[in-house]
Structure 1
């Protein structure tokens, strides 16, 4: 969910690179309460303006973490996770073209274009390789990025990602597309909130009522431009290939699904993990499709562990990792 941001906008360096926040001193690293430094910069890819956000606090223990959120998220939606990640590395979020405050992107531009836009972010920041965390729709972009630009990827974590869009969801999208274009925000907000949350009786989900209200309010309060982007996003989903079985690099991979996720189920997550050459699969306990906001601290801990190669076994908030493929040698 979007939250407030404190931003500054420094100019690019002499060679055109967007400057990362400076290296923290040892004393600053030890101060875990020190707020992260935030840098925001507008960039342009193929004529479309978009915005990149960088948060940085401590030393570089791992490659920068690039987070691609779902279609209803923006570059500010992951701020509450940053305090666990910024002591380890830079955290980069982005409003890609067609999302958040970026320029409107016609539906003829699909997942390949958005994956190329992520590559543009990495190149503009002069980053050799990244840790990629990609959730839901961001997962489709993340997998395509991995397939097309493997030399830029160090690790990849997918959240609520499947190889196919569920059939009932695909049918519903056509109906939602018409509702959005007619401005029927209240009923579609209610439907989407119900769709993202697991139905009653599925199992205990933390913060379920509060998160459902947040999802509803976020969708119901969209302004005309946001509604226009939402309608175009639905058209993009219907017109372009979601997952393409192209070769994927054998970098460390982790596929994560909420224990009670009924939109992208654990079975779908295991199928996704089986398509990656070096992946593990885990479920987050007492969560559904919105696990990252239902267990913020625990989910951030899992991201930090994965991106720094720490053990994933025996975690109190997750299942034991299931291994798919062959891990890359250290």
Structure 2
């Protein structure tokens, strides 16, 4: 059984919070989870089920997410980075395990670059290291719908751009996941005050995944059918992290954390407790990336 503690913090007058589920006898460092855009502190039930028996789980309502204040106008990932560093300071522990998904992967990678000595292990999923012209066009279309108050049109475009809808790609419960994501995007359009600012920022500045990283054990994972940034491009990004590993999860796309939630939680537990990830049945092995070492001097690809 765990104790739940919610801590309220602020930076420059912007209020945000984090939620800590305490494990009285932890077997590894606390796990801090950073989710996708607008994903708040209560969006990780499968992680709770798997992580809390092992260690503390920390989820956040960062600025612009959940019940926190909106992200200040004109701010960027630097402001979000300050908020994340403030949470780590407040935890009062020497090191953490850090898990970042989608937009959260960008924030987590930046955090590890700033604080490599404070990150015991790093897991990054659905890394948006590159957006194609088609994705940029979808972002503009979504913004156009939002600008004229068409929440339904925004939600439709936003859901389609995040999911692989190719019927030739096997993704269980595709229709159910699409409805869930569209409903979530509709909620964002109606209830999140700074969603247009978020879209503008996404169009103007690309995600920050350059500069490399060393000294932090790292794992990068993706759904094998991720249509935002291809698994091959995510594997190329993983190769910029010294000694990292890359995993492609079968029968999933960018929303792998929903489509294969239990498997993602299992993968995180394995890595954060120094267990091998190779035996996992959900790891794809067909050229787009089974589990591999991708550090310097290591060849990546079939037969490795």
| TM > 0.5 fold call | yes
Instruction: Work out the CA distance in 2 between the residues paired with 1:136 and 1:214.
Output: 17
**Partner residue, 1:54:** 20
Instruction: Work out the CA distance in 2 between the residues paired with 1:326 and 1:88.
Output: 32
- Written as runs of structure 1 = structure 2, the 5 A alignment for 1:259-298 is 259-298=224-263
Instruction: Work out the CA distance in 2 between the residues paired with 1:161 and 1:136.
Output: 5
**Partner residue, 2:183:** 217
Q: 2:126 aligns with which of 138, 143, 160?
A: 160
**Partner residue, 1:322:** 292
Q: CA deviation at 1:225?
A: 4.2
Q: Output one character per residue of 1:118-177: Cα deviation in whole Å (capped at 9) or x when no partner.
A: 111000111211111101111111111111222221111110104323332223223322
**Partner residue, 1:203:** 169
**Partner residue, 1:86:** 52
**Partner residue, 2:287:** none
Q: TM-score, normalised on structure 1?
A: 0.83
- Structure 1 residue 238 corresponds to structure 2 residue 208: no
- Written as runs of structure 1 = structure 2, the 5 A alignment for 1:72-151 is 72-151=38-117
Q: CA deviation at 1:244?
A: 4.6
* Cα-Cα RMSD: 1.9
Instruction: Work out the CA distance in 1 between the residues paired with 2:185 and 2:260.
Output: 21
Unaligned runs of 5+ in 2: 285-289, 298-304
- Structure 1 residue 256 corresponds to structure 2 residue 226: no
Q: CA deviation at 1:223?
A: 6.4
Instruction: Work out the CA distance in 2 between the residues paired with 1:209 and 1:175.
Output: 22
Q: CA deviation at 1:326?
A: 5.7
Q: CA deviation at 1:194?
A: 1.6
Determine if contact 1:61/1:89 at 8 Å carries over to the other structure. yes
Determine if contact 1:112/1:141 at 8 Å carries over to the other structure. no
Distance 1:167 1:140, change over 3 A: farther
Q: How many pairs are equivalent?
A: 292
Determine if contact 2:155/2:189 at 8 Å carries over to the other structure. no
Q: CA deviation at 1:107?
A: 4.2
Determine if contact 2:146/2:189 at 8 Å carries over to the other structure. no
Q: Output one character per residue of 1:175-195: Cα deviation in whole Å (capped at 9) or x when no partner.
A: 322322322111111112222
**Partner residue, 1:313:** 278
